[in-house]
Amino acid sequence: MSQSSLVEADYQALADFRFGLRKFLRFSKEFLVAEGKLTPEQYEALLAIKAFPGKKGLLIGELSHRLQVKHHTAVSLAEKLVRRKLVSRRRGTSDRRKVYLTLTQSGTTLIARLAKRHRDELRGHVDELIAALRAINRH
């Protein structure tokens, strides 16, 4: 059997992994709308800004990379978060093309609450997801 061949257990493991992810993502989407009035992409942006701030903040280009979206999509997300006063935006002093994003106090408070609930929910799915990943790795 070649390495690229799939057996029934591979399909089951892949399906189980995606099912576990889907359950978590469904929870996340519903929770974010209800508790934060955010889209999943807006939450991911806040999380990236919190987790990878750099010295001056997270650059728009870095946000684009972290979220795997086009530059203009990252700009649009940032603008929405700035309007909600969850993120502040500042141009670089030596290079005005660089735009740095930092969380405001409101953004910091919100991401702390939302991320805690996401972590707690994800902990409930860890065994299921790890089992699926192990099954994928076995075959």
User: pLDDT value at position 139?
Assistant: 62
Whether the pLDDT of residue 2 is over 80: the answer is no
E-state strands within the chain:
58-59, 87-91, 99-103
| pTM of the predicted structure, to 2 decimals | 0.88
Q: Judge contact between 101 and 60, C-beta under 8 A.
A: yes
Whether the pLDDT of residue 1 is over 50: the answer is no
Q: What are 102's two structure tokens?
A: 């930092």
pLDDT tens-digit map of 8-64: 999 999 999 999 999 999 999 999 999 999 999 999 999 999 999 778 899 999 999
Q: What are 81's two structure tokens?
A: 């978060």
Q: For the chain, list the domains and their CATH numbers.
A: 8-138 (1.10.10.10)
Whether the pLDDT of residue 135 is over 50: the answer is yes
